[in-house]
Structure 1
Amino acid sequence: MPVYTLEYQFNDQPRTFAIDLKQAHLPVHEAAMHLLQLHFGDGENSLMMPAADATHEEILQQAERVGLKQIRVIEGAMPTVHR
């Protein structure tokens, strides 16, 4: 499985997140969905999630509205361990 590292800003703080997926490429809008689920995916914050039929642009706009910005996908990167 490919490992992807997502570098992004969350509320103006730099963050990284590593994810293993069974796909050869991870578009930025799909990375944004993973980050939205990571930060807002619990039941109480489900209103933060875009509609199921949202376009790629709408997903990225929603991510930016809730503080997820400058999302960058690094393909084939190894996960970083933060202590």
Structure 2
Amino acid sequence: MFYTYILYSKTRNKYYVGSTVDLVERLKKHNSNHSGFTGHTGDWCVVWYETFNNKREAIIKEKLIKNWKSRLMIEKLISSARL
């Protein structure tokens, strides 16, 4: 199983879009003290995800969402499919 996901940080008031094979472990990595966009915050939470049968489909969905470049569209997606 593969996942495309959206994280939210209340501290930064930002969203992060990614894809992974292990959502639980990936969230732990995002919340660890590492360099990079999600590092040093520690309050990222999953606000949306979708499952896929293969990595290719998950990456296509990730790129689609990232190409929106629109917070409003991301928030519409999140509100349409509550976890």
Give me the TM-score of the superposition, normalised by structure 2.
0.42
Give me the TM-score of the superposition, normalised by structure 1.
0.42
